[in-house]
Amino acid sequence: MRRVLIFVIIFTFLISGCVQQKEDKEDKEIKIGVLVPKTGEFSSAGIVMENAAKLAEKHAKEIFGVNIRVVIADCGDKPETAKTAFVSLAQQGVVAVVGAYSSPQALVVADTANELKVVYIASVASADLESKIREGNRYVFRNAYNTSYWGVLAAEFLRITNAKSYYLIGYDPLRTFNTAMFILIKNSTKAELKGEDWFKSPSVAPEDYKRAVEKALISDAEVIILGDPGATSVSFVREYAMKGGKATIYSVGGTLALMSVLRGLGIDNIAFQAAAIEGEEKTKLTKRYFENYREIFKEDANNYAGLLTYDAILIVAQAKMKGNLIEELEKGSFFGAAGIYTFENHQAQWGSEKLRGSIGIFRSGKVEILT
């Protein structure tokens, strides 16, 4: 009987030890939600955002020694879809949620984050999230640059190239963001504005970009600033070149910032802005992000939506390992592939010494970094 009792005690001890080890492991794992547009208007960006999230999961362990698990949710292209996805992630016990694509989505998600008391970091959208913070919402942050900084970079390109004239083309599904950026450009440059046009979504009017091309040709501007970061921008550039257009195309980034796309087009003088450009060494993560992305996913890394989603996840991981997430985000500094992040009023300080956007231009088969 005594032997049986001893066996039971030992067995119970071993089982409790295994349970405790499992609980300790689970306690050390940080779950981070990621809102990804797997379906809808922005699904092409969703692919790179999801890939980048998986790479961040891998690098958090390898570089920072933090065991994280990303939980992906499809936020589609509508605000209500993004809200539903956020709620679902919150119910799964994530410590924070990053991502979403459009400004209308980010605004709704920011309100939901405040209601549910779950931190949200906008990694792509440039909406007026500052107003949410002024209203007392401590749960919303943004590591992407705001609309103002998009305009700052475009105006900087006009200055660097000494352009005398420019023409604006917006993408209707991103009208809120494009409009605000265009206003800032107009107020920040001495170059002559030759006109402004918008083309519709391919799902609404598949070849509306051709009409925009004709108007751009008539404008005879030195630079065309293109507000469409998606696949239609490629069709626009190809059509413009085929029609004899000679202006430099300045893209907000996205598809026209990928080397594979630029090489495929084979058209010189396509400029773009990005959070970082391959070949820069902004931090110890920059080279690793671009190289590992290519190794794992067999394609060029996206240098805005993908890169900043990657950075947002690593920011959460670094802050969470230090203590209270909100307090650490408000006072700390964090490594990312784009630079070193600090937040002022919950907005990453783009344009600071350690965190600057990049401008590149494609010429003769390679990208020349201008900033």
DSSP track, 166-191 = EEEEEEGGGHHHHHHHHHHHHHH--S
Residues 162, 248, single domain; the answer is yes
Q: Minimum mean pLDDT among 41-45, 140-144, 348-352: which range?
A: 41-45
Distance of alpha carbon 216 from alpha carbon 95, whole angstroms: 47
What is the rounded average pLDDT of the residues 293-299?
96
pLDDT of residue 23: 41
Confidence band, pLDDT 50/70/90 cuts, at residue 44: confident
The structure tokens listed for 20 are 């405790």
Q: Are 97 and 201 in the same domain?
A: no
Residue 367 lies in a domain: no
249 and 132 part of one domain? no
Question: Residue 256 has what pLDDT?
Answer: 94
Q: Is residue 314 part of a domain?
A: yes
**What's the domain range around 217?**
148-274
Specify the CATH number for the domain of residue 214. Answer: 3.40.50.2300
Same domain, 228 and 191: yes
Report pTM: 0.86
Per-residue pLDDT tens for 82-137?
999 999 999 999 999 999 999 899 999 999 999 999 999 999 988 789 999 999 99
**Are 120 and 313 contacting, i.e. CB atoms less than 8 angstroms apart?**
no
Residues 155 and 263 in one domain: yes
Average pLDDT, the chain: 92
* 153 shares its domain with 141: no
- C-alpha neighbours within 13 Å on the C-beta side of residue 159: 12
Same structural domain for residues 228 and 256? yes
pLDDT at 368: 95
Same domain, 152 and 254: yes
* Claim to verify: residue 162 and residue 127 sit in the same structural domain: no
Task: Please tell me the predicted confidence (pLDDT) of residue 3.
Answer: 52
pLDDT in tens, 325-342: 999 999 999 999 999 999
Q: Looking at the predicted structure, is the pLDDT value of residue 28 above 90?
A: no
Regarding whether 264 and 165 lie in a shared domain, the answer is: yes
Look at residue 40 in the predicted model and tell me its pLDDT: 93
Cβ atoms within 10 A of the Cβ of 263, count?
12
Residues 6+ apart with CB under 8 A from 121: 96, 97, 98, 140, 141, 142, 143, 312, 315, 316
Collect all residues with Cβ–Cβ distance below 8 Å to 342 and sequence separation of at least 6: 332, 333, 334, 348, 349, 352, 354, 355
Six-digit token pair at 2?
């005594």
Q: What's the total number of domains in the chain?
A: 2
pLDDT (average), residues 33-60: 96
The band of 1, judged by pLDDT with boundaries at 50, 70 and 90, is: low
**Of 105, 97, 107, whose CA–CA distance to 173 is shortest?**
105
Same domain, residue pair 154 and 269 = yes
Strands 223-226 and 248-251: parallel
- For residue 20, what pLDDT is reported? 43
Q: Does residue 114 form part of some domain? A: yes
257 and 304 together in one domain: no
pLDDT of residue 254: 86
Residue 249 lies in a domain: yes
Confidence of residue 206 (pLDDT cuts 50, 70, 90): very high
Taking only the tens place, the pLDDT of each residue in 228-279 is 998 999 999 999 999 999 999 999 988 999 888 999 999 999 999 999 999 9
Is the residue at 15 inside a domain? Answer: no
Q: Using one digit for the tens of pLDDT, what is the confidence trace for 157-197?
A: 999 999 999 999 999 998 989 999 999 999 999 999 999 99
Is the pLDDT score of 299 beyond 80? yes
Task: With a cut of 80, say whether residue 6 has pLDDT above it.
Answer: no
